[in-house]
Copies of this chain bind each other. A is one copy, B any other.
Amino acid sequence: MHPFDDAMALERRSDGVQVGRTTPAYWNFAGPFGGVSAAILLRAALDDPARNGTPVALTVNFCAPVAEGEFELVPSLVRGGRRTQHWRVEQRQGGEVRTSASVLFAQRAHTWSHQPAVMPVVPPPEAVEPMGDQGWTAWIANYDFRFVEGGLVMGGPAQETLHPARSLVWLEDQPPRPLDWLSLAALADAFFPRVMHARGLRRTRLGTVTLTTYFHVDADELAALGAAPVLGVADGERFSHGFQDQRVQLWGRGGNLLVSGSQMLWYEQ
């Protein structure tokens, strides 16, 4: 079984609560990799028998660290209409909320379409060196990172010289796995915090507090992608008063914008 599918395993209880567990493969420093948490919260709503439509937007709030082991996911339909459904999902351990999410599903339609955003011109992934497993934190071994621009500069303690906050990186599940809603949700968080890129920090206390992901594809477009690398673009606009933003895009090789997203992270100093 692919390690991502192992991390996405859920058992549905008769009361509608879904039970999952953290896996060592996606462990990060102080809890599971946030992208896997985002994906499993999305899954809990996606798998609910009352769900209608495909994902349009996902916001995940990281309220408290998720401990190793079992957790409960409680999906609830906040409001459903003809075109859209708004869901809320809580991830709980020991009866306490650790993570909460809002998920928007919709009936996608055939409409006028237009993509003003243009995919950056970059070499193909085959022509870019993989970052390799840095022996650093577990979850990164599940992705193939090929930095085209703005790779991590592991300077140790904070350096005087600032580096770009922007990265362009080919990303792919490792081993390769056909893209689906869940892996896109995880990939949207498969970036290193901008504060580390900009300052050349390897270790610093920080964490995502809230994450929003928008899905631009419908089910057919997603299915046609198969297992393929996506081009990730990440940037940060402002670091101030202990918080920083991060904006991301995921591009398909054909030049379609698949996902766009943003998050806020805290950092200690």
Q: Is A260 among interface residues, defined by CB-CB distance under 8 A? A: yes
Tell me which residues across on chain B come within 8 A of A115, comparing CB atoms: 237-240
Q: Is A21 among interface residues, defined by CB-CB distance under 8 A? A: no
Query: What is the bound-complex CA distance between A238 and B258, given in angstroms?
Result: 9
Q: Is A249 among interface residues, defined by CB-CB distance under 8 A? A: yes
Contact A243 B59, beta carbon cutoff 8 Å: no
Query: What is the bound-complex CA distance between A122 and B161, given in angstroms?
Result: 30
Q: Is A242 among interface residues, defined by CB-CB distance under 8 A? A: yes
Contact B114 A239, beta carbon cutoff 8 Å: yes
Partner of A243, one of B56, B79, B242: B56
Contact A264 B61, beta carbon cutoff 8 Å: no
Q: Is A212 among interface residues, defined by CB-CB distance under 8 A? A: yes
One of A105-113, A124-132, A135-143 at the interface: A105-113
Q: Is A15 among interface residues, defined by CB-CB distance under 8 A? A: no
Which of A102, A106, A198, A269 is most buried by chain B, counting CB atoms within 10 A of its CB? A102
Query: What is the bound-complex CA distance between A102 and B102, given in angstroms?
Result: 9
Tell me which residues across on chain B come within 8 A of A245, comparing CB atoms: 214, 216, 260
Tell me which residues across on chain B come within 8 A of A257, comparing CB atoms: 237-238
One of A24-32, A39-47, A82-90 at the interface: A82-90
Tell me how far the C-beta of A102 lies from the nearest C-beta in chain B, rounded to whole angstroms. 5
For chain A residues 236-269, which have a beta carbon within 8 Å of chain B?
Answer: 236-243, 245, 247, 249, 256-257, 260, 262, 264, 266-269
Contact A264 B114, beta carbon cutoff 8 Å: no
Number of copies: 2
Tell me which residues across on chain B come within 8 A of A116, comparing CB atoms: 164-166, 198, 235-238
Contact B243 A216, beta carbon cutoff 8 Å: yes
Tell me which residues across on chain B come within 8 A of A17, comparing CB atoms: none
For chain A residues 205-248, which have a beta carbon within 8 Å of chain B?
Answer: 209-210, 212, 214, 216-218, 235-243, 245, 247
Query: What is the bound-complex CA distance between A109 and B242, given in angstroms?
Result: 5
- In the complex, 16 of the A-B residue pairs with CB atoms within 8 angstroms, ordered by the A residue number, are A59-B59, A59-B210, A63-B84, A86-B97, A88-B100, A104-B209, A108-B243, A111-B242, A113-B240, A116-B198, A214-B262, A217-B240, A237-B257, A238-B256, A247-B247, A247-B260
Given contacts A78-B100, A79-B100, A107-B242, 19 further A-B contacts (CB under 8 A): A57-B264, A63-B86, A84-B266, A102-B102, A104-B209, A106-B243, A109-B242, A111-B241, A112-B199, A112-B239, A113-B240, A113-B241, A114-B198, A115-B237, A116-B165, A116-B238, A216-B240, A237-B260, A247-B247
